[in-house]
Amino acid sequence: MPGDIKAAVGEFVEKVNAEFGADLAIDTGEEGEISVNWPGHGHIYIDAESGEILPKTKLSGGLVEKLREALGQKPMPTAVKCRCEQDAIVPRDVPVRDVQVAELSLGDIKGYICPSATDQEAFMFLKLCQARNLNPFTNEAYLIKYGQKAQMVVGKEAFMRKAEMHSRYAGFKAGIITENDEGLIYREGSFLRKGEDLLGGWAEVYRTDREHPIRAEVSLKDYDSDKEGPWKSHKATMVRKVGLVQALREAFPSDLSGCYDASEVKEAPEYIEAEMVEA
């Protein structure tokens, strides 16, 4: 029986990771139990003999119930669920931001975020926010309407949060590409020296399961704009940021595909760029 339970848990973890890119992992737990780690959220503890979810599990919601179902266990009684919610209105493992994302609706998007969006655009934005766990109410994501088209824009801090939650993230380096009389210079950070020409930005993102870093280099001329705002006063900071978000997107495609920084959207309003460079 214990072997069957462990196999069932392993099959469940593989299925969830394949469908949702959740990066669930089976950890070494105490004797007689199986521990499933959900990075950034917490652990689910299972009795290795009976397959029951142990009381010390602090997570609640769909994932736990699906695992319970996969192990042939009965759903948690509604009364118990309610009591758990009342004991901790905002549990440590379920941040307010995650609740807001889960409860996000088409009405919220069209009423408060982008009133000019069509139903289809609002629906696509809703599903992408929920799939990537992005909260538009804390400026992690924007839906921008320009002309007849709407574009989703993601803040740099959301890219960084996604990377830091990933179990295989191992840090990054980022900087600017400049040129002087001696040739090209790849400098970490965004300090531009007198007499140097700023040409672009670069970044390297490291993963524990990759031999080489994922590197991105971007040209300043492809993103520099004539508008007032950060691209006029903080060119080095802005082009470094573009290189970093591109490297992060390539390093973690399951978490960040379909997500673009404001600088990658030519029509992004200046106030969004300003918010992002200040963050």
User: What does the domain layout of the chain look like in residue ranges?
Assistant: 2-87, 95-138, 155-278
Is the pLDDT score of 271 beyond 80?
no
Per-residue burial over 66-91, b = 16 or more CB atoms within 10 Å of its CB, e = otherwise: ebbebbebeeeeeeeeeeeeeeeeee
Comparing CA positions, the residue from 259, 276, 12 lying closest to residue 154 is 259
> pLDDT tens-digit profile of 70-98?
888 755 544 444 444 443 333 444 466 67
Is the pLDDT score of 49 beyond 90?
no
Is the pLDDT score of 130 beyond 60?
yes
Please tell me the distance from the alpha carbon of residue 12 to that of residue 106, in angstroms, as a whole number.
Answer: 31
Alpha-helical segments (H) within the chain: 2-20, 62-70, 78-87, 96-103, 106-108, 119-132, 156-165, 220-223, 230-233, 235-251, 253-256, 270-278
Mean pLDDT, residues 198-218: 96
CB count within 10 Å of CB 102 equals 12
Tokens of 24: 């669930």
pLDDT for the residue 76: 53
Is the pLDDT score of 219 beyond 70?
yes
Architecture category of domain 2-87 in CATH: 2-Layer Sandwich (3.30)
Give the mean pLDDT of the chain: 81
If 0-12 CB within 10 Å is exposed, 13-18 middle and 19+ buried, where does residue 223 land?
buried
Q: Is 236 strand, coil or helix?
A: helix
pTM of the model: 0.58
CB count within 10 Å of CB 163 equals 24
pLDDT for the residue 99: 74
* Highest-pLDDT range among 20-24, 79-83, 84-88, 195-199: 195-199
> pLDDT tens-digit profile of 134-158?
888 888 888 888 777 888 888 888 8
Mean pLDDT, residues 224-232: 72
The per-residue DSSP string of 66-108 comes to HHHHHTTPPPPPHHHHHHHHHH-SS-TTS-HHHHHHHH--HHH
pLDDT for the residue 85: 42
pLDDT for the residue 2: 58
pLDDT for the residue 175: 97
pLDDT for the residue 182: 85
Pairwise pLDDT comparison (269 vs 239), residue with the higher score? 239
